[in-house]
Amino acid sequence: MTDAVRIGNMSGFYGDRVSAMREMLEGGELDYLTGDYLAELTMLILGRDRLKDPSLGYAKTFLRQLEENLGLALDKGVQIVTNAGGLNPHGLAVAIRELAGRLGLDAQVAFVSGDDLMKDATKLGLGNPLTANAYLGAFGIKTALDRGADVVVTGRVTDASLTVGSAAAAFDWGHEDLDALAGAVVAGHIIECGAQATGGNYSFFTEIPMGHLGFPIAEVGRDGSSVITKHDGTGGAVTVGTVTAQLLYEVGGPRYLNPDVIARLDSIELEQLSPDRVAVRGVQGENPPRDLKVSLNFLAGTRNELDVVLTGLDIEAKAKLFEEQFRAVLPAEPAELTFELARTDARDAVTEEQASALLRVVARDPDPAKVGRPFSAAAVELALASYPGFTMTAPPGSGAPYGVFEPGYVDAALVPHRVTQPDGVTVSIEPSPLRAAAAVDGDSPPPVRRDFGPTSVAPLGTIAGARSGDKGGSANIGVWVRSDDEFAWLNQTLTSELLGELLPEVAELTIRRYALPNLRAVNFVIEGVLGRGVADNVRFDPQAKGMGEWLRSRPVPIPVGFLSSGSES
């Protein structure tokens, strides 16, 4: 047994850099290599694949990566753990065994299943979804690794479970090792999104040697503490800032729920040990929740859309005219019809593109006939009979099916968590005996106010970083600064009310606010801003990826001392 194991990441989503598996295997020493391929939208995509061909439903990219790198991983003794199995982990495991046979390799392959609840969805009160997958924990992965699996394929597990299962196997943790498990959850959350931990999507990117970013590594210790790093000579950087940004990605309150433990995000301590090495310590764990979250995707109907170009003067009047005419010529108005005007035009523009705005029109209906040819024909028929300069960015299409996401919850005892070993023996994994009702995080109370002296109006991002993302139909924005005094100011200044003023689109929605002093951060959860999930909503930024940067661009009165002194990253 060692004091620490090196767990790398090679994928943050289905479509991430294909060469990352080889780069991670060739770049330096690793004990485990994880790959995250699943997101709520990905499950819908895989669900459509499975409807067309029941043998599919997994991330085909992973199989192509493995064809080039399985022999290298076996030679180096690196065990691979991935959720690329998606909706069909058994199918992917069979494909890997066939691949290994063709390559003449002796690879021990195991797969974790039981997350797919489709057959029992109605009985469990989950309705009639296209996909229904419970987020499983880490102990199926641990069991597979304990039995000597070279490759472990899972369906829907929590993203962090890939790291937790690897560390739990290395140190033989049990359910009672809550702090260690919580530390591994935090390490897994940091590395799960690949290069986001090494400078990708980072607010202060001009301070980072950007380019071909390296993927992150968590050196996880026996007590669950970790050091986040990357292979020597790779691009990007690992700093307290890049780690903080990723810690704030797609989280809610201080309690970060996972099937095996609740990790307290407000207990995390970060320290820059040396270049590209950040220590993560002090993480406290609580008993895991009784229920598992379930990712539910439903087919909701057909969607069609078009972008109308409006150029020059009278933009608002042109948009109004087109909307009135378009509604009038539609044979039957769809169940949902939205018009969103994006004022991308500039006054006295020197190019036609800069003089133009876009009117986005989106139609949705359970009946594909209402948003297919009639929708497209209505737009085309107005080409010579509407506002001056009428044009579209592209001809309207015939529409496509779309889905909606809903979260569900099921008692973990009702979910058949299983792992099928390389020898074909299937083992049942019991849920944690420590499960309990999880406490609900309330909004953080307002701090004691301080006077920070004279202020000057400047964009919030002058001193603050932000990271935002989707959480089902909601979005989160984590905002952090880089000194204790700046945090004291941020915590008293950036309230939910001010956030609504700065981002008028969310002003009427429910906003939850949580302070995380150890990270010098505040996190906001904006409920319902994304409607019924990424595949459904028609917002300009459907996954809220840029919402944090929008917030950073907004001017606020900032203490002059912060603007003049600067802060260390």
Mean pLDDT of 290-299: 93
Model confidence over 141-178: pLDDT tens digits?
Answer: 999 999 999 999 999 999 999 999 999 999 999 999 99
**What is the enclosing helix (H) or strand (E) of 489?**
helix 484-493
Class of domain 303-403: alpha beta
Q: pLDDT at residue 253 above 80?
A: yes
Sorting pLDDT into bands at 50, 70 and 90, what band is 396? confident
Average pLDDT across the chain, whole number: 94
Q: pLDDT at residue 352 above 50?
A: yes
pLDDT at site 48: 80
Domain boundaries, the chain: 4-295+407-428, 303-403, 455-565
- List, as one string, the DSSP characters of 155-177: SSB-TTHHHHHHHHHHHT--TT-
pLDDT greater at residue 539 or residue 59 = 59
Model confidence over 337-347: pLDDT tens digits?
Answer: 999 999 999 99
What are 135's two structure tokens? 């987020």
**359 in Cβ contact with 320 (< 8 Å):** no
What are 219's two structure tokens? 């050196």
Model confidence over 92-124: pLDDT tens digits?
Answer: 999 999 999 999 999 999 999 999 999 999 999
Question: What is each CA distance from 56 to 47, 48, 209, in whole angstroms?
Answer: 9, 10, 39
pLDDT at site 541: 84
Q: pLDDT at residue 334 above 50?
A: yes
pLDDT greater at residue 7 or residue 402 = 7
Sorting pLDDT into bands at 50, 70 and 90, what band is 194? very high
Highest mean pLDDT among 253-267, 439-453, 529-543: 253-267
Among 496, 485, 370, 367, residue whose Cα is nearest residue 444: 496
pLDDT at site 137: 98
Q: pLDDT at residue 542 above 90?
A: no
Model confidence over 462-513: pLDDT tens digits?
Answer: 999 999 999 888 999 999 999 999 999 999 999 999 999 999 999 999 999 9
Among 236, 220, 237, residue whose Cα is nearest residue 7: 220
How many Å separate Cα 73 from the centre of its chain?
Answer: 27
**138 in Cβ contact with 187 (< 8 Å):** no
pLDDT at site 538: 65
Mean pLDDT of 342-365: 95
**332 in Cβ contact with 370 (< 8 Å):** yes
Q: pLDDT at residue 569 above 60?
A: no
Question: What is each CA distance from 213 to 17, 23, 277, 305, 443, in whole angstroms?
Answer: 10, 11, 15, 35, 36
Among 380, 376, 345, 346, residue whose Cα is nearest residue 363: 376
pLDDT at site 31: 98
Helix axes 161-171, 178-191, angle to 10 degrees: 130
